[in-house]
Structure 1
Amino acid sequence: MSRPGLVIGGYTSDTEGSGPGLTVARSHADGRLEAVGETTVSGPSFVVAHPRLPLLYAVLERAADGGLAVFADDDPAPRLLAEHPSGGSLPCHLALDPEGRWLAIANYGDGTVTAYRLGEDGMPEPGPLTFPHEGRGPRPDRQEGPHAHQAVFGPGGVLYVTDLGTDQMRRFLPGMRPHPDGPVRLAPGSGPRHFLHHEGHWYVTGELDGTVRVYDDEWREAGAVRASGGDNLPAHIALSADGRHLYVANRGPDTISVFEVDGPRLTMTAEVPSGGSWPRHFAIDGDRLYVANQRSDSVAVLALRDGLPEPTGQALTVGTPSCVLIR
C-alpha cells in the first residue's frame, strides 16, 4: 500500500466545527483523494511536520486552554503522543526552525507568541518561553488588541510573526531573543495574516484591506495589489516551486488568485474558483493544488497547468477543514 500523501487539519464540534480532528488522505494518479485514516483530537487547525523525525505537531485552537499536540507520523493515521499548553488562547499557527530545535506558536486570541525548545527526540521540553504583546489598530471591530497569526522562520534563523491586531511584524532572533529594534510597523489597518520571503522581498496578505503588499528586506513597502476584485478576506499565500507564480486564497470571492512575480511587482494573471466556500488554506504538490474550503466541508483538487490552477471537479468531503499538509 502506498503511503498517504495529505494530512488535513480542521475544527471539531468543540471548536465550532464538524470535523473529526486529523484526516489522512491518499492522492491517486488521476488526482482523486481518498480518505484512509482519522485521528480524533480537539481542533487541530494547523499542522506541521518535523524536518527530520517522523513527528507531526498541531495547534489545538481552543479559546480557554489552547493546546499543542505531538503525533507519531504513523501509517495510516497519526498517533497522539502528548499534549502541551499553547501558552495563550486560540492558537492558529505554528512553525519549526529548519534544524528542528525550536517550535513557535502564534496564539490569535490574546496575541501571545510561545516557543518550545525541542529535545533530540523532537519532544517539547518543559518551561516554554511566552511573549505577550500589547497594542491595537485602527479597526476597533478586529484590532482591539494583538492577534498573532502566522509564525515563519526566515533568513538567518529569525522568527517572524504577523500580528493582525497591531499591524506589525514581530521579530525574534535565534534562541528566541526579542529583536532589539522591536516589531516592524506595516500598513495601518491592513491586518497582516500570512506571508512569505522570496529573493529579497516579503509578500504579505492583508486580511482586513484585501491586499497583497510587498516589502523589501528593510521592510520598506515596495508595492501593493488587490488580491481580488470583490469584498475579500485574503488568507493563505504560497509560491510556485520555480518562483514565477504567487497564489492567494480569497475568502468571500472564494477564489485562488495567481500573480506573476517580478521582484516587487505583482501582475494578476488568473483568478479561478477555489472549488468550495471560504478557502482558508491550500497546499501545492507537483501539478496539484489542494484547497481546504472551510465552509463547504471539502478539500478541492485543482490541476496546475503552466502554473495556472484549473478546476477538476474532484473534492474530498471533510468537516470544516482549515489546513492541508503534504507529507
Structure 2
Amino acid sequence: MKILVTGGAGYIGCHTVKLLQSLNHQVTVLDNLYRGHMQALENCDFHNIDLMDSSSLNGLFKDIKFDGVIHFAARSLVGESVEKPLEYYQTNIAGGINLLQAMRAGDCNQIVFSSSAAVYGEPKSIPIEESHPRNPINPYGRTKSLFEDILTESSVLGIRSVCLRYFNAAGAWPGGEMGEDHAVETHLIPLALKAAMGAGKPLTVFGTDYPTQDGTCVRDYVHVHDLARAHALALDWLQAHGPSLRLNLGNEKGFSVLEILETASEIAGCEIPTEYGPRRAGDPAILIASNRLASETIKWIPLRSDIRTIISDAWAWHSSHPEGYGSPDY
C-alpha cells in the first residue's frame, strides 16, 4: 500500500514507519519536525509540511494517490496543553480537519488515528474497556476525544477510521538502534534510565499513599514495537473493508512506579537516585487496559510488552545513545 504517516518522525511514528517499510509498503512521511527527528528516518519520501498548511497538504494528496493515512501528528504534552490550550486545539483539531479535507480531495478514505487513554479521564472501573465513559480532564485528552467524534461523524463522507487508544508507550526498537528522545521528557522509564546514567535529575516519585500494593501509582505499559504492529494491522483491517473501530492498546497488566524503578535498577546495574513528593493532581491510582476488542477484531496481542523486555530495549537505546538522536553515530 501507499501509506502517508503524519508525525512520522516522532517516537511512535518512526517505529511505525520502519515496521511498514519492512512489510514492503510505500511510505511517505509528513512532519514539521517541531519535536520529531529526521535522523530517525531512513529511505523514505519525506515532506516537511505543517498540518496548518492546507495548500501543501492538498498538493501532496494531488501528487500521490494514498491508500491510507496513519495520523500521529499532534501536540501531546498534558501539562503544556493546560498552559496552551488554543495551540492544542489548533494543531490537534483544526490541523486534523485540514488533513481530512485533503484526504477527501485526494479520494483517500481510510485513516488510523493515534488516540490516547487520556480520553477516559478518571477511571470508574478496571480494566478499562472501550465502552467506559469518555471524560477527559485536560485539553490534550479533550482534543483526542473530540477528533474521534469528528472521525465518527465523517463516516457520512465515506471515511472509515480506526482510533487506537494506547496507554503508556515505552521501550525502543529491538537492538536499541532507535528509541525515545523528547526535548521535554515526562515518561517514567526514560526518566529512570537517564537518572541511572547520571544524565538527569534524581527521579521524583509523586505520591506514596495510593491504595495500591506499595502506595505508588500503577500503570499499563505497552512496547512501542507492539504499537507499531497495531497500526499496521489496523490499516490492513480498513483495507479489507472492515468497519470503523475504537480500540484500546495496552499490556493488560499493571506495574507500580516502585516496581518500574526496581526493574530499571536491575537492568541498568545501579541504584536510581530517587526523591519522594506529594501526589500530582489528576493522577489516578490505577490505569489498566482491556485489549479484548483489539484481539477479537484486528487480531492484535502484545508480543514484546513484558516489562523486562520493555526496559531492556529502552536501556539498550539510552545507554548506547546518551544524547538521543544527537549522539555521534547520528
TM-score by length of 1: 0.29
| Structure having greater relative contact order (Cα 8 Å, sep ≥ 6) | 2
Q: Which has the higher strand share?
A: 1
